[in-house]
Chain A
Amino acid sequence: MTTEELKNLQIDKVVDARGTACPGPLMATKKALGEMKSGELVEVLSSDGGTKRDVPMWAERKGFQYLGDVLEDGYFRLYIRK
Chain B
Amino acid sequence: MAKKMTIALYTGSFDKLTATGVIINGAVADDMDVEIYVLMMGANAFKKENIGKMENMAELADKKDEFIASLERLKIPTWMDFFKQAKEAGNVKIRICGLAGKIWNGTELEHFNGLPEDICGIGEYIASTQTADVNLFI
**Measuring CB to CB, which residues of chain A are less than 8 angstroms from any residue of chain B?**
19-23, 26-27, 30-31, 58, 61-62
B75 touches A19 (CB 8 A): yes
Closest residue on chain A to residue B90 by CB atoms: A30
Contact with A along B74-109 (1 / 0, CB 8 A): 111000000001000100000000000000000000
User: Which residues of B sit under 8 angstroms from A30, Cβ to Cβ?
Assistant: 29, 89
B22 touches A22 (CB 8 A): yes
B30 touches A27 (CB 8 A): no
Question: Which one of A21, A23, A31 has the highest number of Cβ atoms from chain B below 10 Å of its Cβ?
Answer: A23
The count of residues in chain B whose C-beta lies closer than 8 Å to any C-beta of chain A is: 12
> For window 1-33 of chain B, which residues contact chain A by CB distance below 8 Å?
22, 25-26, 28-31
A23 touches B29 (CB 8 A): yes
User: Which residues of B sit under 8 angstroms from A19, Cβ to Cβ?
Assistant: 75
A-B contact pairs, 13 of them (CB 8 A): A20-B75, A21-B74, A21-B76, A23-B25, A23-B26, A26-B26, A27-B28, A27-B85, A30-B89, A58-B29, A61-B30, A62-B30, A62-B31
Closest residue on chain B to residue A61 by CB atoms: B30
User: Which residues of B sit under 8 angstroms from A61, Cβ to Cβ?
Assistant: 30
How close is A47's CB to chain B, nearest CB, in angstroms? 11
User: Which residues of B sit under 8 angstroms from A22, Cβ to Cβ?
Assistant: 22
How close is B110's CB to chain A, nearest CB, in angstroms? 29
Given A21-B75, A26-B29, A27-B89, 5 new contacts (CB under 8 A): A21-B76, A23-B29, A30-B29, A58-B30, A61-B30
